[in-house]
C-alpha cells in the first residue's frame, strides 16, 4: 500500500527522465556523426577504441577468474591414504588434499590449459571431444568422480 497516493510518481519520473536522457544522447551522437562524417572512424580508432578494447579485456579476465572455480567442478574421489587423527581413522582423498592446499587450482589449471591449446591453434571441437574423452576415461578409471 502506497501512502499519500503518489504511486505513479516514481514510475513517471523514471520514464520521463530515462527517455529525456536517451533521446538527448541519440540527438547528440547523430549530430556528431553527421558533422564529422567518415572522419569519425579515424578519430575513434586513434585513441578511444584501443583503450576500450583493453578495458574490456581486463574486465573479461576478471570475470573469467571469478567464474572458473564457480562453474567448473572436478572431483577426485580416489583415496590416497588412511590417516589416524586423534584415534579416528580418516580417509584422505585427492580432492580433500587439493582443497586444503589451494582450492580451485584444478579448474584453473584445466581452463589455462584449454586457453593454451586454443592459442596453439587447436580447434575448439577437438578440445571439446578431448575433454569429453578425458572425463569418461577419468570416471571409468576411478580417478574422477561425481561431486560429493
Residues 88-101: pLDDT tens digits? 888 888 888 888 88
61 shares its domain with 91: no
79 shares its domain with 133: yes
Q: Is this prediction's pTM over 0.85?
A: no
Tell me what the pLDDT averaged over the chain comes to.
Answer: 85
Give the total number of structural domains in the chain. Answer: 2
Any domain includes 6: no
82 shares its domain with 136: yes
Q: What pLDDT, on a 0 to 100 scale, did the predictor assign at position 15? A: 95
Q: What pLDDT, on a 0 to 100 scale, did the predictor assign at position 1? A: 53
Residues 83-131: pLDDT tens digits? 887 888 888 888 888 888 888 888 888 888 988 998 999 999 999 999 9
Give the pLDDT band of residue 137 (cuts 50, 70, 90).
Answer: very high
Percentage of the chain lying above the pLDDT 90 cut: 30
Any domain includes 147: no
60 shares its domain with 117: no
62 shares its domain with 81: no
Give the pLDDT band of residue 60 (cuts 50, 70, 90).
Answer: confident
101 shares its domain with 134: yes
- Beta carbons of 145 and 136 less than 8 angstroms apart: no
Give the pLDDT band of residue 146 (cuts 50, 70, 90).
Answer: confident
Give yes or no for residue 133 having a pLDDT over 70: yes
103 shares its domain with 124: yes
Q: What pLDDT, on a 0 to 100 scale, did the predictor assign at position 34? A: 86
60 shares its domain with 100: no
Any domain includes 80: yes
Give yes or no for residue 25 having a pLDDT over 90: yes
57 shares its domain with 89: no
Domain span holding position 81: 74-141
SS3 string, the chain, reads CCHHHCCCHHHHHHHHHHHHHHHHHHHHHHHHHHHHCCHHHHHHHHHHHHHHHHHHHHHHHHHHHHHHHHHCCCCCCCEEEEEEECCEEEEEEHHHHHHHHCCCHHHHHHHHHHHHHHHCCCCHHHHHHHHHHHHHHHHHHCCCCCCC
Any domain includes 148: no
Any domain includes 59: yes
Amino acid at each position: 500500500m502506497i501512502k499519500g497516493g503518489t504511486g505513479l510518481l516514481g514510475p513517471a519520473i523514471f520514464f520521463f527522465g530515462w527517455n529525456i536522457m536517451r533521446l538527448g544522447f541519440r540527438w547528440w551522437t547523430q549530430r556528431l556523426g553527421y558533422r564529422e562524417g567518415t572522419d569519425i572512424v579515424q578519430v575513434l580508432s586513434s585513441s578511444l577504441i584501443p583503450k576500450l578494447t583493453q578495458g574490456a579485456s581486463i574486465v573479461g579476465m576478471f570475470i573469467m577468474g571469478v567464474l572458473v572455480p564457480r562453474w567448473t567442478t572436478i572431483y577426485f574421489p580416489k583415496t590416497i591414504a588412511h590417516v589416524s587423527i586423534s584415534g579416528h581413522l580418516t580417509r584422505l582423498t585427492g580432492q580433500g588434499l587439493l582443497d586444503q592446499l589451494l582450492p580451485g587450482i584444478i579448474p584453473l589449471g584445466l581452463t589455462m590449459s584449454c586457453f593454451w591449446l586454443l592459442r596453439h591453434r587447436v580447434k575448439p571441437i577437438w578440445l571439446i571431444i578431448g575433454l569429453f574423452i578425458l572425463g569418461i576415461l577419468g570416471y571409468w578409471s576411478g580417478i574422477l568422480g561425481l561431486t560429493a
